[in-house]
Amino acid sequence: MKKSTKTLIIVICAVLLAVILASVYFSNRATEVDTNEFWKKTGFCLNKDDSTIKDYDEITINGKPYYASKSKSEIKYVVIDSYVLKGYNEKGRLIYKSSDNINWESVRDYLNELERTGCIKGFNFKDPNEGSFFSSIVLPLLLNVVFIIIILIIFRQMSGGGKSAMDFGKTKTRVSQSRVRFTDVAGAEEEKEELKEIVEFLKAPKKFVDLGARIPRGVLLVGPPGTGKTLFAKAVAGEANVPFFSISGSDFVEMFVGVGASRVRDLFATAKKNMPCIVFIDEIDAVGRQRGAGLGGGNDEREQTLNQLLVQMDGFETTDGIIIIAATNRADILDPALLRPGRFDRQIYVNLPDVKGREAILKVHARNKPLAKDVNFKTLARLTSGFSGADLANLLNEAAILTARANRPCITNTDLYEAINKVLMGPQKKSRLVTETDKRITAYHESGHAILARLLPNCDPVQEVSIIPRGRAAGYTMTRPDDDSNHINKSKLLDDIVMTLGGRVAEEIVIQEISAGASNDISVVTQRARKMVTEWGMSDKIGPVNYGDNDQIFVGRDYQTRTPYSEETAKIIDGEIETIIKDAHKKATDLLSAHKNLLDVMARLLIERETIYSEEVDMIMEGKTVAEILENIDERDRKRKENPFGISPNENSTNQTNG
């Protein structure tokens, strides 16, 4: 329902209620008097004792003398309504009514005589069993109309989207003409090539038909959140210049039986009227899960919806002009019937962008943002390893917000650098009160991470070390990989585990006490060691056998499933994990004990300056004195204001270890 229509209905209801209330109010507005006083207002005296007033004329009713005066009459019309005397003035307005009940027969003669003498101009009797036209017909009608209007408004609100109460089965799809093009989608050239065939088919289907080719009925976009799956679907519709129907998988699910299937039928019926077109179903796993799964044997309503979707995608009716594009990040739980040829027969995995893709994405999102001349997208792309397209868009947005907060005219490297750290680990909490003891523990903790990262050959280079709290971390050590490697060997994993345990080991060596600050580090190394043993085949005792579960638990399918290995094998797995972690802990202890002087220097610098960068870390490892490093830091800070990244254009992007 439109807002203007709803407002008009409300106004009409308000006017009707006002009319009803006003009518009831004015119809009952009269001065209540006793019967004798009422007759006096008509100029009539029932008692001869009241005849002391000289201008009263004597009249006779049924042989008895009474008195009447035309000049003393305020009431000109009398109505007996439900045994109550009502008096009206010359203009017909109700001014008096009796407080006592009266009998019609007993007053008829009085009223006749009053009319004869001219004291009143007329009288009438109203049957108490009959209401007035207003009260008996108009008022109930108005009340019924108001009641019906209110009920209709309530049903429209319950059905949602301004639909009527009987429109539950109508689709909630949103129809638009997409303006997105492939040029707006950066960093995924291979994915775009796969989708260009869909665009060509929608533009020129005869080319494929003549060759006997059948275009894929459906395309399933699979990938992590934020990689641009929805944007790809909009780009296909925009390039083909066809209507774009978008709906979420959860929009089909309803508490009423049969509503989901009805909405599927209505969706395809609407799409057939607009062929050729694109139908995009976001988060299809909400309705496309494997049938028969669930603690109760599955959800009948959801399964009916899925069955209807399967029939519509590959049924008896032709839908050659309709391309179904769906998106999900849980392809593992989809029903196999949904993925067979003839339905979603083409799956496109949308990966996280590489360094080249990140650079292109950053350029797209920076189109309408003022940037400083020295901003280098290549450097920025290398600093954002593991970022999705949505993360990069958020990065530039956060940088713009920081720029506005500082009242600067354009986005600088300083803003971008702080935005990266904010996206990765949260905002700095400089106002948090930190005791000297906590600061000392954090300084040694982060120093342990940084020194081991430099001593171990397979760890990523250190970019920044800080004891300023960010998010839930009391401090952090940020490293950056040399490249976007897709393969991680065993030696690197082992060195990373040693480096991650460096914070805990540094506390043991210097503080000689164990704190809870390494809880996240312990969780990380445990998960990594378990994957090495159970999934990646990096254990000599276990061998290249997968005992892990790559997927998340799918309730109904995985609930109460048996562990795919024996208790004896579980003991071996636990032993191997324990061995990896203990060996890494011993190696970290040996290295930091041998370089305790470096640990002390770095911790002192962190307590003094709170944050140090790769240059300071290099000087510490070279054996420079504290005085030399402090002198160099002042010069470095001045240069860092101009180039806060502090790296050359050929260096690569970052990841972090929170301590």
Residue 360 contacts by C-beta under 8 Å, 6 or more apart in sequence?
186, 187, 353
**pLDDT in the model for residue 503:** 92
Residues 575 and 568: their CA atoms lie apart, in Å, by 11
Among the listed residues 508, 514, 519, the one whose alpha carbon sits nearest the alpha carbon of residue 474: 519
The beta strands (E) that lie in 119-217 are given as 122-126, 174-176
Return contacts of 510-515, CB within 8 angstroms, 24+ apart. 510/444, 510/596, 510/599, 510/600, 510/603, 511/440, 511/441, 511/444, 515/441
Residues 341 and 313: their CA atoms lie apart, in Å, by 11
Q: Which helix (H) or strand (E) holds 323?
A: strand 322-328
1: Cα separation from own chain's centroid? 23
Among the listed residues 29, 27, 30, the one whose alpha carbon sits nearest the alpha carbon of residue 134: 27
Residues 283 and 230: their CA atoms lie apart, in Å, by 10
Residues 124 and 111: their CA atoms lie apart, in Å, by 9
Q: Among positive and negative, which fits the CA dihedral 190, 196, 197, 198?
A: positive
Residues 538 and 544: their CA atoms lie apart, in Å, by 7
Q: Which helix (H) or strand (E) holds 194?
A: helix 189-203
**pLDDT in the model for residue 509:** 92
Residues 249 and 288: their CA atoms lie apart, in Å, by 8
φ, ψ dihedrals at 196, nearest 5°: -65, -30
Mean pLDDT by 10 residues, the chain (659 residues): 60 67 60 79 68 64 74 80 80 79 75 79 66 57 73 60 49 71 80 82 79 80 87 86 84 70 83 84 85 57 82 65 86 85 84 86 88 86 85 90 90 86 76 77 92 91 87 82 76 93 92 84 93 90 79 50 75 93 94 92 88 86 83 71 54 46
Q: Which of 283, 359, 446, 651 is catalytic?
A: 446
CB of 43 within 8 A of CB of 118? no
655-658 sheet: strands from edge to edge: 611-613, 462-466, 476-479, 655-658
φ, ψ dihedrals at 54, nearest 5°: -70, -30
Residues 567 and 563: their CA atoms lie apart, in Å, by 9
| Strand partners of residue 73 | none
Question: What token pair was written down for 160?
Answer: 């949602």
194 catalytic? Reply is no
Task: Match 């010359």 to its residue by tokens.
Answer: 90
Residue 41: C-alpha distances to residues 72, 85, 357, 611 (Å): 7, 12, 98, 99
**pLDDT in the model for residue 562:** 54
**pLDDT in the model for residue 18:** 67
DSSP per-residue codes, 584-647: HHHHHHHHHHHTHHHHHHHHHHHHHHSEEEHHHHHHHHTT--HHHHHHHHHHHHHHHHH-TT-S
Task: Match 């894929």 to its residue by tokens.
Answer: 216
CB of 570 within 8 A of CB of 563? yes
Q: Which helix (H) or strand (E) holds 99?
A: strand 94-101
For 264, other C-beta atoms within 10 Å of its C-beta total: 26
For 46, other C-beta atoms within 10 Å of its C-beta total: 15
Return contacts of 212-217, CB within 8 angstroms, 24+ apart. 215/323, 216/323, 216/345, 216/346, 217/313, 217/314, 217/319, 217/323, 217/324, 217/342, 217/343, 217/344, 217/345
Residues 275 and 551: their CA atoms lie apart, in Å, by 38
Q: What angle do CA 33, 37, 41 make, to 5 degrees?
A: 105
For 163, other C-beta atoms within 10 Å of its C-beta total: 17
Note if the pTM is more than 0.75: no
**pLDDT in the model for residue 653:** 41
Q: What angle do CA 203, 204, 209 make, to 5 degrees?
A: 140
Helix (H, G, I), strand (E, B) or coil at 117: helix
Task: Match 């393969």 to its residue by tokens.
Answer: 487
Respond yes or no on whether the N-terminal peptide bond of residue 409 is cis (omega within 30° of 0). Answer: no
Task: Match 């029903």 to its residue by tokens.
Answer: 335
Residue 368 contacts by C-beta under 8 Å, 6 or more apart in sequence?
none
Among the listed residues 487, 183, 192, 486, the one whose alpha carbon sits nearest the alpha carbon of residue 354: 486
DSSP per-residue codes, 467-494: -S-BTTBS-EEEE--SS--S---HHHHH
